[in-house]
Amino acid sequence: MQGLICLTARSTTTPIPAGLLGILGRPTMFEGADRGATFGTLWATDARYLNDSEEVIYGTKIMVEELERQADASGQSPTVRDQLLTLADDVRKNRFDMEWHAKAKRAVPFVACLCQEGDLLSQWRGYGDGGGGYAIGFSPEVLTEFYTVNDSMIQQDDGFGLASTPLLRGPGKVIYGQSKTRRYMAKFAQETSEGMRLVEAGVKGYSWDIYRLQALTTLAGVKHNAFREENEWRFIEHDSGLGKAEFRAGGIGLIPYIKLYFPITNGTHGDPPIREIVVGPGGDRKLRAEALKRLLRQIGIPDTQVRLSKAPFRG
Q: Are 222 and 210 in contact, with CB atoms under 8 Å apart?
A: no
| Contact status, residue 11 vs residue 135, Cβ threshold 8 Å | no
Torsion sign (Cα): 86, 87, 88, 90: positive
DSSP secondary structure code for residue 171 in this structure: -
Per-residue pLDDT of the chain (315 residues; tens, 9 = 90+): 334 455 544 433 334 688 899 999 999 999 888 888 899 999 999 999 998 889 999 999 999 999 999 999 999 999 999 999 999 999 999 999 988 777 778 889 999 999 888 888 888 888 877 788 899 998 888 888 899 998 778 777 778 888 888 887 779 999 999 999 999 999 999 999 999 999 999 999 888 999 999 999 999 999 999 999 888 999 999 876 666 789 999 888 999 999 999 999 865 455 678 999 999 998 899 999 999 999 999 999 999 999 999 988 876
Other Cβ atoms closer than 10 A to 201: 9
Neighbours of 106 (CB within 10 A): 14
Q: Are 143 and 171 in contact (CB under 8 A)?
A: yes
Are 292 and 282 within 8 A, CB to CB?
no
**Burial class of residue 16 (count of CB atoms within 10 Å of its CB; 0-12, 13-18, 19+):** buried
Query: Tell me, what DSSP letter sits at residue 15?
Result: -
- What is the distance between the alpha carbons of residues 253 and 272, in angstroms, rounded to a whole number? 37
The answer to whether the CB of 137 falls within 8 A of the CB of 278 is yes
Q: Give the contacts of 75 (CB within 8 A, at least 6 positions apart).
A: none
Question: Other CB atoms closer than 10 Å to residue 75's CB: what's the count?
Answer: 5
Residue 254 identity (one-letter amino acid): L
Q: Return the bridge partners of 258, or none.
A: 44
Confidence at residue 18, expressed as pLDDT on a 0 to 100 scale: 84
Crossing angle of helices 178-200 and 60-71, in 10° steps, is: 40
Report the pLDDT value the prediction gives residue 265, as an integer from 0 to 100.
84
Please give the Cα distance from 239 to 233 (Å, whole number): 20
Q: What is the DSSP letter of 280?
A: P
pTM: 0.87
pLDDT at position 166 is 86
Q: Among positive and negative, which fits the CA dihedral 68, 220, 96, 211? A: positive
CA distance 208 to 82: 13
Is the Cβ–Cβ distance between 235 and 111 less than 8 Å? yes
Which helix (H) or strand (E) covers residue 294, if one does?
helix 285-298
Amino acid at 15: P
Between the CA atoms of 8, 10, 15 and 16, what dihedral angle is there, to the nearest 10 degrees? -10
pLDDT for the residue numbered 1? 36
Strands (E), 99-174: 109-115, 134-138, 147-149, 164-166, 172-173
The predicted pLDDT at position 178 comes to: 97
CA pair distance 204, 129, nearest whole angstrom: 49
